[in-house]
Chain A
């Protein structure tokens, strides 16, 4: 048992970091919306799903079917990330406009918004399974079947840690995710929009009195959170090369868990939560079977919340200081 752990420690760490980074990027959307609106945006899982298809659209349109190198590869990856961000951010903003703002204006309860979120989530899944995938991606009758991405990037070894190879796609995911996190952190802490977000999170009424346009801030929150899910979608697609209409479900639950684990409403908490979740899942799978992954990760969540009810980092968006 211990021997297994020693043998598999480094590969599990690398995989855990890469997958945890994707969790973390999605978790940002949950955490930001919660921080500002005290709302769990359960349709965020579909924002991620649409991000994967947005990214898929780029190689689909160019008809790429063999691995690329150099500038062409970098260009396609960049385009995929941008397309994923556009698709996801657009979806998130539309969700806010259609599913949440009308409820918010009429002062509906948070429970109503939750139902609205679940409804929007099912609507988007079915929309993709029935209309978008068969028509846009030219897969008639195959709306519910997994869609593969041809290999874009060769899986070359970049370097090795104690004899365990680290591949270029894993490094790409980790570096890109951490880069996005740093940029987002700077945005929230250093810019005017970031100040507006923090102000609204602290006290929406006082923020209005201080001249903050709440609707604009909420829209920006959804836009940024959605954009991050789009990056996650593109990175996921590049490394795992498949997606389907229901892919958001498991990712949504895991990312939400990561957000709570790190401290919901806390941006850095999302990063910590995502990475911890990714690592714990992979370490846990070494001891128990891989099918016990979910049990282990949720047990850890319960344990952490028992001793730190506000999550690992605890501190929330409204208390963040520039």
Chain B
């Protein structure tokens, strides 16, 4: 990660040097607008925020290289996922840095606190990863998100479990968290409409022994298991399930478990074949779409890593701001109006926002662990199990 930040810092330094050169030779009125990026960039969950930060950097650097009249400076706000820090940083962004837009905040908790502050100041924001459904129900005019929310994800995964995976007897486990419980409940609700036999349990993710859950699974003999929760508990749960002889039941989870940590926690052998749904689109090295391929290649060239979770959403969120500035909008109100009407082909999806700030495209993607790595299987509505 130090390397990534170093690269980013280098990029910014180069940009400034260029802008002063450009100012001397080109139009003297070359100006810069600031776009913020807020999220957990150094804390415990930085692994899912650094990829969108990289993605955003990629767009902005590409744009600045074209030597435009108005350059964009991407300003980093490291909230560490802490809502109180995030609010203080948002005020700093508004009052001192005078940003004209914000990418983020990355998580739902901090978004709920920061969005009202931005709303009052009239700063448009696009989050690339906060998926809590309730965020869109506040009537905020300046808030947007570039991926579907949890109420889309749960039913999408449930349809896949009952459809392509053909499961008739499903065991649904949640971690009782603000994220895991609603997601698992959405899966339960949707599976209930499909005539699938359901068994439920919850676990405490702070614990390390899930044997009581595992024993219930063994007794229920399900052909699929869904876990609503984060990868740390998910990995341990999956390992203990396989150790107890639950070998044939397919293991499903949601975006909170879409991390290599799931494989590390369960062990590569136990995690093999595990399926994870996500409203996010991860460009895997084998993509064919030229736009996505181009994104994946330049990402890899710049950051020496394949695009990871939310990288393409971060790229798309930044693209919207870049296009807004490109079209001559440099004030917060004008940029917000631009966002309301934008309709462009992004890397992750067609980017178009509804009145409530939600992106119109509602695709859920299914990923599968193969050979110790997370690979894209396809859209939940189309993916087939091999």
**Residue B212 interfacial (CB < 8 Å):** yes
CB–CB B209/A15 < 8 A:
yes
Please, how many angstroms separate the alpha-carbon atoms of A209 and B296 in the complex? 79
CB–CB A286/B212 < 8 A:
yes
* Chain A, 237-296, CB within 8 A of any chain B CB: 240-242, 247, 249-250, 281-282, 285-286, 289-291, 293-294
Residues of chain A with a CB closer than 8 A to B219's CB: 4, 7-8
A146-178 Cβ-contact flags toward B at 8 Å (1 or 0): 101011000100000000010100000000000
CB–CB A282/B212 < 8 A:
yes
Binds A, one of B53-61, B198-206, B351-359: B198-206
Most A CB contacts (10 A, CB to CB) among B202, B209, B239, B265 go to B209
CB–CB B232/A290 < 8 A:
no
> Which residue of chain B is the closest to A254 with respect to CB atoms?
B207
> Which residue of chain B is the closest to A236 with respect to CB atoms?
B208
CB–CB A286/B216 < 8 A:
yes
**Residue B176 interfacial (CB < 8 Å):** yes
Q: Indicate which residue in A4, A150, A281, A289 contacts B200 across the interface (CB closer than 8 Å).
A: A289
CB–CB B239/A12 < 8 A:
no
Please, how many angstroms separate the alpha-carbon atoms of A240 and B240 in the complex? 8
The answer to whether residues A8 and B216 also contact, given A19-B211, A144-B44, A146-B265 and a CB cut-off of 8 A, is yes
Please, how many angstroms separate the alpha-carbon atoms of A8 and B213 in the complex? 11
CB–CB B265/A281 < 8 A:
no
**Residue B305 interfacial (CB < 8 Å):** no
> Which residue of chain A is the closest to B43 with respect to CB atoms?
A144
B47 to chain A, nearest CB (A): 9
CB–CB A290/B265 < 8 A:
no
**Residue A145 interfacial (CB < 8 Å):** yes
CB–CB B211/A241 < 8 A:
no
CB–CB A242/B236 < 8 A:
yes
The answer to whether residues A15 and B215 also contact, given A165-B245, A250-B206 and a CB cut-off of 8 A, is yes
A320 to chain B, nearest CB (A): 32
Residues of chain A with a CB closer than 8 A to B211's CB: 11-12, 15, 19, 282
CB–CB A240/B44 < 8 A:
no
> Which residue of chain A is the closest to B269 with respect to CB atoms?
A151
A11 to chain B, nearest CB (A): 4
9 sampled A-B residue pairs with Cβ under 8 A: A8-B216, A12-B212, A15-B215, A145-B232, A240-B208, A242-B236, A282-B211, A282-B215, A290-B204
